[in-house]
Every structure is written in C-alpha cells, then in structure tokens.
Amino acid sequence: MTQFKPGTKALWSGEKEQLAYGATQVPVVHSVSFGYDDMDEWHEIATGKREGHIYGRNTNPTTQAFEDKVKDLEGAEAATSFSTGMAAISNTLYTFLRPGDRVVTIKDTYGGTNKIFTEFLPKSGVDVVFCETDDHAEIEVEIANGCQVLYLESPTNPTLKIIDIERMAKAGHAAGALVIIDGTFASPVNQNPLELGVDLVLHSATKYLGGHSDALGGIVCGSKELIDQIYHYREINGATLNPMASYLLLRGMKTLHLRVERQNENAMKVAQYLKTIDWVDDVFYPGLEEHKGHVIAKRQMKGFGGMLSFSVKGGLETVHQLLPKMKLAKRAASLGCVQTIIGPPRTTSHVECTPEEREAMGIPEGLIRYSAGIEDIDDLIADLEQAFNSLPKELYAKDA
Ligand SMILES: *Cc1c(COP(=O)(O)O)cnc(C)c1O
C-alpha cells in the first residue's frame, strides 16, 4: 500500500490480511489465545519462524491491522502498539535506556512525559537534560555533550512550539543518539518525522488517530530492528492494546484524512478570529505568519494541525468565566476529537505539574487550549463570539 496517498492508506492499509469469511471489515478478534493442531506449526509460530498469533498479550489480528495502517501512514518499516500513549512513551524509553545514560529533551513535552523525565527515569539512574524548546542552538550544545537518546515533541503541548526536526535529527545522529519524537499533535496526515530523519515516531492514538474520544491507545513506528526490541519489552511488560480499542481506533482512522483536513481549516480560522478579539493577548498557532515556528512548520508539515492555544486578559478569572459559556466545546481533557474540546493546561495536559513548574515551562495560568473539531466553522466562531460578549468588562479593565 506504500504507493498510495494518505487518504487511500487510511482506508485500505492493514485490512486485507486480517479479513476472513469474505468479511469486508476487520473483525474484533476477542480471543486470549490461538490454537494449533499441528505441533510443529505451533512451535514455529511460537518461536517466530512463521507468522501467526499465539497469545493476546503479544499479538492479535485486529491490533495488527491497526498497527499496519499507522505503519503505512508513517512510511515506516514496522510499528507496535500499546494500551495508551503514555505506555508507548515509557516502554520505548525503558527499552533503550540504562543506568548512567543521558537523555536530552525539551521543556515543553507532554505533562506525563515530563513526569517520566523528572520522577521515574532519575530513579533508574538516567540523567535528563531539559532545553528551551525552540532554542535549537542550546539543544545542539547539549546533544554534543553526549546523549544516548534525543527526545522531541513537535508541535508542543500547549503553546504549539515547533522544532526543526531535520536539523535536530542530524545533530542527534552525529552524537550517536537514538532520536525519538512524539508526533501526536500533528498526526501522520500533517507530518511524517521518519522522512525528516528521526528513528522513532510515537503517537497517542487516543487523540487524532482514533479521533472520537472513545478509545485509548498508543503506537510507535520505525525500523524493524528498533520496533522488534520495543515489541519485546512490551510483550513482557504487558501494556498491550486490547482488540476492542484496536477496532475503534481502526474504524476512526478510516476518516483520519478528512477529519484532520477539516480540523486544520477550522483551527486556522479560529486562530485568525481570536487575533481580532480585544480579550485575547496571544494566539499560539503555527499557521499564523507571526508564529515563531511558522517558517519551519511550513517546511516540515503538510498542514498546521487542529490545535491552538490563546491567553486571555484577566487571567484565570477570565478562563473560569469564559469556558462555561461556550456551548460548542467540551470542557474536558484530551484533544483531536471530532467535537471541539477546550480546557486550561492547569487542569488538562499539565495537571501533574505545580503552578511553579508550569510557569517555568512558559505556560501562563490564563492559557486556554483549543482542539478544533469538525463542526461548521461559522458556528464555532459565533459560539466564541457570544462567550466573549458575555464577559464582564471589569475583568478586562483589570489587565488592560
Ligand atoms: C495525550 C498525549 C500523550 C499521552 O497519551 P495517552 O493516550 O493519554 O496516554 C502523549 N503525548 C501527547 C502529545 C499527548 O497529547
């Protein structure tokens, strides 16, 4: 399926191999184990000499279809899946890191990822260095000081900073590091980091891949050699994606390209609208020309994504009054859903962090993250407009 365009892959990749009985859709194979009458065949499959399934913690046909689809969309040789995005991240890091190793990363990683770096990896004797997210020169200096893993994320959560992926991958490889990137915010429709030179690209499938906020999952794509090692760590440690979630993710992915294209459009229009609103101090969206990472984003992304954030005058108080007024935005954690989702980082992506830690990451308490859905744009804009119009003017005066 590698010759086809993303929209075609989203529909056809990974499916044919898993169809039985003339079914046109991949079934949910709810089976813990897979049996064989022929002892030699069983042994060959169990020892990896022949393709097939043995036990549900290792592999499953529905899950394999999901993995194959994402693998094709990322243009990867192999992929392996996990129960959540965080499992994909932690299992991948623990596969490769040893006591005494050094990781170079950025300050703006996803909140849970940041906790792995600050809380768990140090307990395993791994040293983690945090760089200013879009200070490429600083990252290069730290990489040159020596590291086994360079861990990136782009665009970042929640202020949509952009990393020059090709430049960082080159620097990482020059130092002999394994280069890993979390591409969740972009989805494989907007960005394919393997083409830009990274070794592994991860996704929280919970977000754009599934797209309907009804299933958790994670996936990592890369060379067969690397994925085999990560798969082995996961099959033993057990953070396996279950068949029902695989099916939901697989089903969601059939419209991935349509959803993401619409979300790209909606996010751009919402960002442009927010720029015209007096209540709004800053709008963070890589599609805006004045965004610090716009030129890099334009070069390395096929679309600017459905995520944006903005800060409001009056800070936290304005956030508290504005969000409940919005009728067409779910006030919830998560992102990348067909419906618009809105929330402050202090209760969503960075809830694990203290206000001081958020401040150090450059996340103002008055920041609002907006995950554009696929609604009609006129309705989304009108909804924002009525919500801003309902705010008491005293709040504005406080900050103006
Ligand atoms: C949500 C998210 C994760 C974690 O994924 P889960 O599926 O919630 O475990 C990791 N990285 C990014 C960028 C995310 O948005």
Q: pLDDT, tens digit, for every residue of 111-155?
A: 899 999 999 999 999 999 999 998 999 999 999 999 999 999 999
Is the CB of residue 110 below 6 angstroms from any atom belonging to ligand 1?
yes
Quote the ligand 1 centre to 40 CA distance (angstroms). Answer: 42
Is the CB of residue 84 below 6 angstroms from any atom belonging to ligand 1?
yes
- Smallest CA-to-CA distance from 305 within 353, 267, 275, 276 is with 267
Phi, psi of 325 (to 5 degrees): -80, -15
- Smallest CA-to-CA distance from 209 within 344, 79, 376 is with 79
% the chain with pLDDT above 70: 99
- Which residues of 239-366 form beta strands (DSSP E)? 280-284, 307-312, 330-331, 341-343
Topology classification of domain 6-253: Aspartate Aminotransferase; domain 2 (3.40.640)
374 DSSP 8-state letter = S
> From CA 321, how far away is CA 316, in angstroms rounded?
9
Q: Are 270 and 380 in contact (CB under 8 A)?
A: yes
**Confidence check: pLDDT of 368 > 60:** yes
| Range in 1-10, 90-99, 299-308 with the lowest mean pLDDT | 1-10
Averaged pLDDT for residues 257-266:
98
> From CA 93, how far away is CA 319, in angstroms rounded?
36
Phi, psi of 41 (to 5 degrees): -60, -45
Q: pLDDT, tens digit, for every residue of 184-223?
A: 999 999 999 999 999 999 999 999 999 999 999 999 999 9
User: Which of the following is catalytic: 68, 134, 182, 199?
Assistant: 182
Query: What is the bridge-based pairing of β-strands 330-331 and 367-371?
Result: unpaired
Q: Is 110 a catalytic residue?
A: yes
Quote the ligand 1 centre to 207 CA distance (angstroms). Answer: 7
When the candidates are 3.90.180.10, 3.30.9.10, 3.40.50.300, 3.90.1150.10, the CATH number that belongs to 256-399 is 3.90.1150.10
Among 157, 214, 371, residue to substitute to test ligand 1 (most atoms within 8 Å of Cβ): 157
Is the CB of residue 184 below 6 angstroms from any atom belonging to ligand 1?
yes
Is the CB of residue 15 below 6 angstroms from any atom belonging to ligand 1?
no
Is the CB of residue 85 below 6 angstroms from any atom belonging to ligand 1?
yes
- Distance, C-alpha 139 to centroid of its chain: 21
Taking the CA of residue 85 as centre, how many other CA atoms within 13 Å lie in the half-sphere pointing to its CB?
A: 26
Phi, psi of 95 (to 5 degrees): -65, -40
% the chain with pLDDT above 90: 86
Give the three-class secondary structure for 342. Answer: strand
Quote the ligand 1 centre to 23 CA distance (angstroms). Answer: 33
Is the CB of residue 63 below 6 angstroms from any atom belonging to ligand 1?
no
Confidence band, pLDDT 50/70/90 cuts, at residue 360: confident
User: Which of the following is catalytic: 94, 110, 151, 285?
Assistant: 110
**Confidence check: pLDDT of 399 > 80:** no
**Confidence check: pLDDT of 1 > 60:** yes
Q: pLDDT, tens digit, for every residue of 87-108?
A: 999 999 999 999 999 999 999 9
Q: What is the pTM of this model?
A: 0.96
pLDDT of residue 114: 92
Domain ranges of the chain: 6-253, 256-399
Among 163, 206, 220, 234, residue to substitute to test ligand 1 (most atoms within 8 Å of Cβ): 206
User: Which of the following is catalytic: 55, 57, 167, 281?
Assistant: 57
**Confidence check: pLDDT of 398 > 70:** no
Quote the ligand 1 centre to 83 CA distance (angstroms). Answer: 11
Query: Which residues, in sequence order, are CB contacts of 316 under 8 Å at separation 6+?
Result: 344, 365, 366
Q: Is 233 a catalytic residue?
A: no
DSSP 303-352: S--SEEEEEETTHHHHHHHHGGG-SSSEESS----SS-EEE-TTTTTTTT
Q: Is 182 a catalytic residue?
A: yes
Quote the ligand 1 centre to 86 CA distance (angstroms). Answer: 6
Quote the ligand 1 centre to 36 CA distance (angstroms). Answer: 38
Q: Is 161 a catalytic residue?
A: no
